[in-house]
A and B are shown apart, each in its own frame.
Chain A
Amino acid sequence: MRVNIEVNGEQRVADTVWEGESLLYVLRERLGLPGSKNACEQGECGSCTVYLDDVAVCACLVAAGQAEGRSVRTVEGLADGDRLDPMQQAFVEAGAVQCGFCTPGLIVAAHDLVRRNPRPSDLEIRESLAGNLCRCTGYEKILDAVRLAAERMGASGGTA
């Protein structure tokens, strides 16, 4: 089947999509957007987290057909040209990236948190990232990055 999706502000079309295919597969394999990672395929790891109509979801659990006519924002859509989103910048500076596989999902999940809650407590950060697994960092640097980004985004008075 054919699926029409607005992805990162651009109208995209995917053809020959299998009816049981996930949004994640369409993004990665058909639309050339490999930022969202494919790991567990069961919603456990969060590495495929994207915005679907502005709501953070696991792209592996969305049937491609369910995204028809909707808007998707992936990690590739966060930066403004060469200028990283403050959350991406904070991950770089805080050393929150090791192997990098979980990073796109964590950045989208953290981006969503700070957008909804500009001054999250540590408990709220932990709760908001509970659906994202990282096997390298032990999470401490990730928490540092989220705190740093929240501070900066709060100070600049706006979010991306």
Chain B
Amino acid sequence: MEFLRPASLTEALEAKAAHPDATPIAGGTDLMVELNFDKRRPSALLDLTGVAELAEWDTDGGSGGDPGGDPGGDTVRLGACVPYSRIIGELGGRLPGLAMAARTVGSPQIRNRGTVGGNLGSASPAGDAHPPLLAAGAAVEAASTRGSRRIPAAEFFHGPKRSALAADELVVAVHLPVATGPQQFSKVGTRNAMVIAVCSFSLALHPETGAVGTGIGSAGPTPLRAEDAQLFAAAELEGRWEAPGPLPDSVLRRFGELVAAAAKPIDDVRGTAEYRRHALAVLARRTLTWAWDDYRTGSWSRCA
């Protein structure tokens, strides 16, 4: 096995081009488990933790990392190797859905190491970052020595642990619109910490366009959007944004049914397909209630 240690993004892309079968490693929270248990023997490890460019975030309004300042901007470009703990600490206001999901990842030690880039690279249907990326309409920036491209999150996942990445490409960043409305994330598991989702759901309200974004995790071969549920919710919210009252129970219930119907779950060690559909309907109903209440009361910017 080779251990490749690029010191810059250019070197990293060159190394990936020269060793397309090298496995990238950042936080190691997935890959090291496979190595420790002899489940995987890649020909080379491509360590990305020495690449400073991947460990930063910024906005189109300016650079991040200054805790006191607000650079503004409409979009966050989140470097692939920014750990979950920094997303929680630095981006909760701009990316509340992703920050909520980040809080449910593993444990403090895992959140100090795990990254969204790694989550995308693994492309597990259960990855906690994926539903909020889908709900927010994020785009994945993939790069190689041939150039870079943006892949909408909804087109990134091709199957269980399979993605749109080419063999010579690395995930270098994720582009997420700064939240303009409430976002939510909710996850079912056997305890709060160290849980792989039985199923999860993320919701984003976009008051300025009237749109509703969704993301379903761990209930299909890939993370999914609930498109019928999105259209239904957007149609129901039309006309309510200006004078928002509580949503009727019938709307919440139907939204839950449509989210459950969009899932493609299977029975596995963590839960049955039937349970996952039931739980998703509950999560969808609850998250829409919470997000809409946050919008109505104007408290959504604080909940992050």
Contact = CB atoms under 8 A, between A and B. Distances in A.
A129 to B, nearest CB: 8
Interface string A112-123: 100000000000
A62 interface: yes
A1 B3 CA distance: 9
Chain B CB within 10 A, most for which of A22, A46, A57, A132 = A57
Interface string A47-73: 001000001111011110110100000
Contacts of B2: 19
B1 A43 contact: no
A65 B36 CA distance: 15
Contact of A20 (B29, B35, B194): B35
Where chain B touches its partner, the secondary structure class is loop
A62 B108 contact: no
A134 to B, nearest CB: 13
B250 interface: no
Contact of A41 (B3, B33, B193): B33
Given A58-B109, A61-B113, A19 B45 contact: yes
A130 interface: yes
Given A22-B36, A60-B36, A43 B110 contact: yes
A42 interface: yes
A61 B45 contact: no
Contacts of B37: 41-42
Given A22-B32, A42-B33, A131 B47 contact: no
B112 A65 contact: no
A46 B35 contact: no
A44 interface: yes
Given A41-B33, A61-B27, A61-B29, A18 B109 contact: no
B227 to A, nearest CB: 35
A130 B33 contact: no
A131 B49 CA distance: 23
B41 A20 contact: yes
A102 interface: no
Given A22-B32, A68-B5, A131-B106, A57 B47 contact: no
* Category for how many chain B residues contact A: 20 to 34
A109 interface: yes
Contact of B25 (A49, A63, A127): A63
Interface string B15-48: 0000000000101110011011100011011010
A131 to B, nearest CB: 2
A128 interface: yes
Contacts of A57: 109, 112-113
A55 B82 CA distance: 14
A130 B25 contact: no
Interface string A11-38: 0000000111010000000000000000
A128 B193 CA distance: 10
A65 B3 contact: yes
A18 B35 CA distance: 11
Contacts of A43: 29, 32-33, 106-107, 109-110
Given A130-B107, A130-B192, A61 B33 contact: yes
Contacts of A58: 109-110, 113
B49 to A, nearest CB: 5
A41 B36 contact: yes
Interface of B: 1-3, 5, 25, 27-29, 32-33, 35-37, 41-42, 44-45, 47, 49, 106-110, 112-113, 192-194
20 contacts: A1-B3, A18-B1, A20-B1, A41-B33, A42-B37, A43-B29, A46-B109, A57-B113, A58-B109, A60-B36, A61-B32, A61-B113, A63-B32, A63-B47, A128-B108, A130-B192, A130-B193, A130-B194, A131-B106, A131-B109
Given A46-B109, A57-B112, 13 more contacts: A19-B1, A19-B3, A22-B36, A49-B109, A60-B32, A61-B29, A63-B3, A63-B45, A65-B3, A65-B45, A130-B192, A131-B108, A132-B107
